[in-house]
Amino acid sequence: MHPTQLGPYTISSLLGRGGMGAVYEGVHRDTGRTVAVKTLASHLGDDPGLRRRFEGEIEALLSLRHPCIVELLSFGEEDGQLYFAMELVRGRSLEQLLRSGRTFTWREAVDVALVVTRALKSAHDHGVVHRDLKPANLLFPDEPVGDATVKLADFGIARLFGSGGHTMHGTIVGTADYMAPEQAAGAAVDHRVDLYALGLVMFAMLAGRPPFQGGQVTDVLRRQRTEAAPRISSRVAGVPAELDDLIDRLLAKDPAKRPASALAVGRQLAVIATTAGDADVPRPPTAGHGVDPGITLGPASAATDCDESRRGTAAGTNASAATPRRDEVDLEAPTMDFAHGETSPPDPAIIPATLAGTGDANSQTSPMATKPDPPTGLPQRVTVPATDAARAAASRTTRFTTVEELERVSRSEAAAQERRDFWIRILASVGMLVLVAAAAYTLLRPPTADELHDRIRDIVDDPEADLRDARPHVDRFLAEHAADERAADVRDLDHRLDLDVLEKRARRRRDDDRAMTPLEREYRAAMAREDESPLACLAALEAILTLHADDAIPTPAADAPPEARPALWLDLVRRQIERLGPLADREREQDVARATATLAEAADLAAEATTAADEAARVALLERRRALLTGIIEIYGSRPHAAAEVAEARRLLTPPQDSP
């Protein structure tokens, strides 16, 4: 016996039954709207896994709001029995059309596929993989509303991307004839299983049947995994090469070789629809079947915006509606009497959006993006010990939630969150203004003498710092705190900075000598001798001080640059003399040592000459001695610090005078 009342819905008739439950036609007692009510079989309600699957379908559908996907209206639990209500689609499914002998031209197949790709794109964009796309789940309404010429139904085995899933890895769930290889192998799957299934659906529309059919389900699954699908052009004449290639790519065994997304497939189909020639003529119906004249397919442009939909199967269309199909596989689904309590077939013209749901245990999904937050108000699971009937009855719950109510709550929560965010932004703005005001006060307040001096010392004491960074603080300290006891030290630093600037300027080459003062010219000439001899450079600098010792140094203007201040040039000369002193001393020591060593070498040569074995050797030794002594005179003759060594060299070169 089917229920008579589920929430606000009065149940009128059975539309279909499957492995997990049934779908009924119901009427809302207040609004009078006719809907399809899908239920989880009462004897399965205590199975946590099946409850999760049923709730997972609700969760998936809550995120899918599109005219080409059967709409979820409400959900609830009545005395422990889970159910949800969907729009009732009156019409026929693609499976019914194919079984009735309905044939499709390639253009009709492209038109349908365009709608399906838009529905799949919407589902994938919302993080849902259908995983059971097949002709039974593509519904053609008798009276399409707007562009919804085809509706995608039955998300019973869909899984949200990023969710843990409702089946374990390695479990095969789906319909064998329309199952992707990786799904048939029980491996992890993603959105590309839906693209593979779409290729099989298009193949079936053109050829009248999918490419892989056999006696045993295991044989079909094996062929899905290992056998390459034939080209549709080998089965059907007049198919454009572009469509033939696209279907072949959709049926690639390797998911990486299929098109990347439903959007990409839809774009290729749109190009084929507008550029391929009218090479086909509608084929006659298959022998033994009549053509159903009641179904017409809209043009490709009519399927403008199909994003998401549910599975739908025409209950009572044929015997398969009351018995499990050979190709529907679910290794976890329980067995049940599919025809229990039914004495007459339901109306085949009524397609509940979620009828296949009875076989919803057939489904699985695979992660791709992120899992949406669980919808507020989902029926909570109730696990009841089967051995205690009294406790079971006490634990039954009754609840009812409409999608409209969820959306209203969601909008209310969003508005509350927006208000909270508004006040958070206001508080953050106020805090920022306080910080800005404090920073502005700190920056605009004149620094004290201590603060300026600390900043200067921080730079001076840092061996890696550039002293020029202290210049602004030095100038401000001297301008505002000239009477401070530390001003003398700061003036010394200021003078040091001026000398640094002048020294760097003097190192740069000047092209115009006329622009230089005499002091600058003399300083540059003296410093040019440093590379030749620090001692000579030092002597030149000392000569500058001697030359300008009695000069009257004019007082420069306060804003005069360093190069225009003669006293600063003389201070720079003194700095260089102080720096070059040690270098000059070392040069003196090196010159005397070198000259002394050369004199010793000359003495050794003279001694060797007196004992030479022959005249030629004696002459060569004496010539080498003479060259060394001459070199001492030439090199060190102008260097006062080597005067003694030069005099000795001259004496040794002077030949002895004969006595009278």
For residue 126, give the CATH number of its domain: 1.10.510.10
Going 515 to 519 to 524 to 526, the CA torsion angle's sign is: positive
The DSSP 8-state label assigned to residue 360 in this structure reads: G
Domain limits at 608? 596-653
pLDDT value for 441: 81
Whole-angstrom distance, CA of residue 61 vs CA of residue 155: 7
- Here the tokens at position 158 are 């869909």
Long-range pairs for 378-381: beta carbons < 8 A, 24 or more residues apart? 378/55, 378/58, 378/59, 378/75, 379/55, 379/58, 379/75, 379/76, 379/77, 379/82, 381/48, 381/51, 381/52, 381/55
Count up the domains in the chain and report the number: 2
Q: Is 492 left (phi over 0), alpha (psi -120 to 50) or beta?
A: alpha
Does 33 map to a domain? yes
Give domain status of residue 183, yes or no: yes
- Structural contact between residues 253 and 193, judged by C-beta atoms closer than 8 angstroms: no
- Count other C-beta atoms under 10 Å from residue 271's C-beta: 12
Query: Which sequence positions are flagged as catalytic?
Result: 132
Cα 549 from Cα 248, distance rounded (Å):
101
Torsion angle in degrees (nearest 10) through CA of 200, 356, 314, 289? 40
> Cβ(477)–Cβ(449) under 8 Å?
yes
Chain centre distance of CA 455: 44
What is the spatial distance between Cα 549 and Cα 570, in angstroms, rounded to a whole number? 10
pTM: 0.51
Query: Would you say 87 and 35 are in contact if contact means Cβ atoms under 8 Å apart?
Result: yes
* Residue 250 lies inside a defined structural domain of this protein: yes
The domain boundary residue, chosen from 331, 362, 397: 397
The sign one gets for the Cα dihedral 146, 152, 155, 159 is negative
Q: How far is residue 383's CA from residue 45's CA, in Å, rounded to a whole number? A: 8
Contacts of 557 (CB under 8 A, 6+ apart): none
Q: What is the pLDDT of residue 158?
A: 63
DSSP type of residue 20: S
**pLDDT for 550:** 78
CA 354 to chain CA centroid, nearest Å: 38
Is the residue at 184 inside a domain? Answer: yes
E strand or H helix at 380, and its extent? Answer: none
Which residue, of 397, 427, 444, is where some domain finishes? 397
Residue 391 lies in a domain: yes
Q: In this predicted structure, what is the pLDDT of residue 511?
A: 67
pLDDT along the chain (660 residues), means of 10: 86 82 90 90 78 82 82 86 88 92 92 92 90 92 83 74 47 77 89 94 94 85 91 94 95 95 94 73 40 38 37 34 42 33 39 42 35 37 40 59 78 87 93 90 85 90 86 90 91 90 84 77 90 90 88 74 86 93 92 94 92 89 93 90 91 72
Residues 6+ apart with CB under 8 A from 474: 456, 490, 493, 494, 497
**How many Cβ atoms from other residues are within 10 Å of residue 359's Cβ?**
29
Buried b (16+ CB within 10 A) or exposed e, 188-216: ebbbbbbbbbbbbbbbbbbbbebbbeeee
**Number of Cβ atoms within 10 Å of the Cβ of 84:** 30
CA angle 425, 429, 430 (to 5 degrees): 120
CA-wise closest residue to 14 among 339, 360, 401, 402: 339
| CA-CA-CA-CA torsion sign (576, 579, 585, 590) | negative
CA distance 621 to 608: 7
Report which of 568, 538, 529 is spatially closest to residue 641, judged by C-alpha positions: 538
Domain boundary among 341, 375, 397: 397
In a domain, 502, yes or no: no
- Within-domain flag for 72: yes
Phi, psi (deg, nearest 5) at residue 329: -115, 130
Element (H, E) at 350: strand 350-352
Write the CB contacts of 149 (distance below 8 Å, at least 6 apart in sequence): 115, 140, 141, 297, 298, 302, 303
What DSSP state is assigned to residue 323? S
Q: Return the DSSP state at 412.
A: H
Q: Compute and round to an integer the Cα radius of gyration of the chain.
A: 50
What's the rounded Cα separation, in Å, for the pair 347 and 340?
17
Q: Which two tokens stand for residue 502?
A: 């002048």
171 in any annotated domain:
yes
Nearest in space to 71 (alpha carbons), one of 408, 316, 307, 398? 307
What's the confidence (pLDDT) of residue 464? 86
Residue 280's pLDDT is 46
Q: Which residues lie below 8 Å from residue 2, measured CB to CB, with a gap of 6+?
A: 11, 14, 22, 24, 341
